[in-house]
Amino acid sequence: MHIRPLHPVFVAEMTDIDPRNNLNQETFLRLAAALEHHGVLVFRGQPLDDERQIAFSRLFGSLETPIGKIRTDHKHRLRKELADISNLDENNNIRASTAQIKKKSRENSGRRM
């Protein structure tokens, strides 16, 4: 496992590590220390499916429930453990610019339509 800082204050790139595999205790402790030191870690080109992403995330503790779970008025694209911050609908199509969710997103960011 190699750690390469990408910025002098925060963020580092992790190479020679495959988060899809079970990490041994020593590797996990180095990874956790790198996260603590750099704040953000980048793992390029990692083909993680939902199951492996969730398993990797659980190494760091219990998962928070995304706010999307509160919305029961539409079908979700992703599992409840994953936050969907995309502009895709439940069929993986790009939402129309007039879609209610996009309008709410703009309102939340302070931009009015």
Q: Residues 16-54: pLDDT tens digits? A: 988 888 789 999 999 999 999 999 999 999 888 999 989
How large is the average pLDDT for residues 46-66? Answer: 88
Tell me the two tokens of residue 79. Answer: 């599992």
Tell me the two tokens of residue 113. Answer: 């339509």
How far apart CA 42 and CA 35 sit, in angstroms, is: 10
Sequence spans of domains, the chain:
2-58, 64-113
